[in-house]
Amino acid sequence: MPPPKIIRVLILLTVPLFLFLVIQIFRHPFRRSTSGVDTKAVEEFRDPNLDPTGEPDEPLWRATDDYRPDNPNSPRINATLLSLVRNEELEGILQSMRDLERTWNHKFNYPWLFINDVEFTAEFKKRTQAETKAKCRYETIPKEDWEMPGWINPSLYQESTKVLKENNVQYSDMLSYHQMCRWNSGFFYRHPALLDMKYYWRVEPKVHFFCDIDYDVFRWMSDHNKTYGFTINIYDSAESIPTLWPETIKFLSAHPEYIHQNNAMGWLTDGSRRPDKHIKAHGYSTCHFWSNFEIADLEFWRSEKYQDYFDHLDRAGGFFYERWGDAPVHSIALGLFEDKSRIHWYVHISYPYAFFTSIE
C-alpha cells in the first residue's frame, strides 16, 4: 500500500532540504569561537611541516678523506660539539654520541667539548672518547660563574620557588636547574675552552638523531652567513617567565639602537595563537627555539648588545626568583637583535626530544 499523499509531499520537501544543509556544512565548516583572536592570522596560517624536506641550498661541503681526524689541514673550521653534562648522565650522553657519530660526525670528525660543574671521572672520559675518533676535551665551570650571585636574596629565592611550585612550574625547586639556565644564558660562550671557537652544536644527553646528515653543517652556517640554527619551535610555560618580557621592554627603552631593522618582533609578540600565554607573559608570545638543540655562531652571544641584555636580565633576578630559561632568553635576543634571515630551521635534521620531535 503506497504511503499517504501527505507523507509523499513531506519526503519530497525533506530530501532537497537535507541536501542543502549538507552542502552548506561542507562549504562553511564549523569554526570554534575565536573571540579576541586575530582570525585572519589564524586562517592564513599553514603548517610548514607539510612542505617537502630536503637539504639546504648549495654550496654543501661533503665528507672526503680530508676530514680524517689526524689531518692538520682538514676543511674543518673552528667549531665544536658542546655538551653540558654530569658524570651521572654518562649513559645518556653515550646514547646521544652514538646517534650523532653514526649519522654525521664519523664523516667529519669535529671535536667534542664536555663541560661540568665538577671534575669528570676517569670512567666518563674513557667511555666517551671510545665513542668517537675525534678529539674530546673535558672542562669544568669556574665556581664564580656557576654559583648564585651575591645580589640574589636566598630567603626571597626560597619563597619564590614555593610560589612557582604551586603554579606547577617544572624544576622550579631545583637550584641546579636555575644555575644551569643562567650559565647557558650568559656564561657558556665566555668559557676559556670556547674562546678559539666560532661555532658550536649543542648536544644534550638522551637525544636521538635518526637521519643521515651528509654535509658539514658548520661550513654551511659560515658559507650562508647564518647565526643560529634550530629544529623545534614551541611555546613556553608563561608561569615560569611572567616578568621576562617587561624587563626586556625596560632594556629596549634604554637601548633602542640594538633592535635590528629586520627583526622578528611579530613572532615574539604574536597573541593570536596562544592568547592565554600572551596575557600571562605580559605581551610575549612565549614562542621560542628549544635550545637543547642549537647550532650557532658564538660571536652573537659575545656581542655588546647581547652581553648588555644578559647583564640587565641577570641583575633583575629572574633566573632565580622566577625560572627564566636560556631558550626564551636566546630566542628573544635573536628575535630582537639579529636579522631574522640569518636564523635557519634545520627541518631535515630529525631530532626528537622527550615528546616533541622535528621529524616530518
CB 248 within 8 A of CB 288: no
Instruction: Quote the CA–CA distance of 34 and 272 in Å, as a whole number.
Output: 9
* Helices and strands in the chain: count of H runs, count of E runs: 16, 11
Instruction: Quote the CA–CA distance of 179 and 200 in Å, as a whole number.
Output: 21
Three-state secondary structure call for residue 161: helix
Alpha helices in 28-169 (DSSP H): 39-44, 90-100, 106-108, 122-129, 143-146, 154-166
Instruction: Quote the CA–CA distance of 98 and 128 in Å, as a whole number.
Output: 10
Q: Is the peptide bond before 59 cis (omega within 30 degrees of 0)?
A: yes
**Amino acid in the structure at residue 29:** P
Verify whether residue 123 is a known catalytic residue: no
Residue position matching grid coordinates 670556547: 194
**CB-count burial class (<10 Å; 0-12, 13-18, 19+) for 241:** buried
Instruction: Quote the CA–CA distance of 275 and 285 in Å, as a whole number.
Output: 8
Per-residue burial over 182-218, b if 16 or more Cβ lie within 10 Å, else e, is bbbbbbbbebebbeebbbbbbbbbebbbeeebebbbb
Which listed residue (294, 299, 304, 338) is catalytic?
Answer: 294
CB 264 within 8 A of CB 340: yes
Instruction: Quote the CA–CA distance of 145 and 297 in Å, as a whole number.
Output: 21
Residues involved in catalysis: 294
